[in-house]
Amino acid sequence: MIGMVKRYKVKITVLKRFSPSEVFEKSPVTPVEPLGACELFRDGQEFIIEDGRMPEGFCSGAWHTIYCNVRTLAFGGDLPWYKEKGVAVNCCTDGLRPVIFKLERI
């Protein structure tokens, strides 16, 4: 019989949102309308994940990108390329205006 695996909460913090002008000197594509930093998040915004589900109001594209590391941390795993245990830093896949997230097991 397999025992229950402990599941931890994970805190997601929005570290920084970038506008296209911060990423590129000259944009590699022309947006349909002018773009600034992502409007779905605020720098410093926090989310607590308790049940493994995407938080309400969270960008589904960003969630898809960070979910593997959220799950790793939630089940007690660590990323081997960081000295700190229980943390990860990821960005969303929006290449023109990325958002950087810090994930922490709590």
Q: Is residue 2 part of a domain?
A: no
Q: Is residue 91 part of a domain?
A: yes
Whole-prediction pTM value? 0.91
Q: Is residue 82 part of a domain?
A: yes
Per-residue pLDDT of the chain (106 residues; tens, 9 = 90+): 466 778 999 999 999 999 999 999 998 999 898 899 999 999 999 999 999 899 999 999 999 999 999 999 999 999 999 999 999 999 999 999 999 999 999 9
Q: Is residue 5 part of a domain?
A: no
User: Quick one: pLDDT at residue 2?
Assistant: 61
Q: Is residue 70 part of a domain?
A: yes
User: Distance between CA atoms of 58 and 6, rounded to whole angstroms?
Assistant: 25
Please tell me the total count of domains within the chain.
1
Q: Where are the beta strands (DSSP E) in 37-98?
A: 46-49, 87-91
**Geometric angle at alpha carbon 62, from 60 and 67, rounded to 5°:** 90
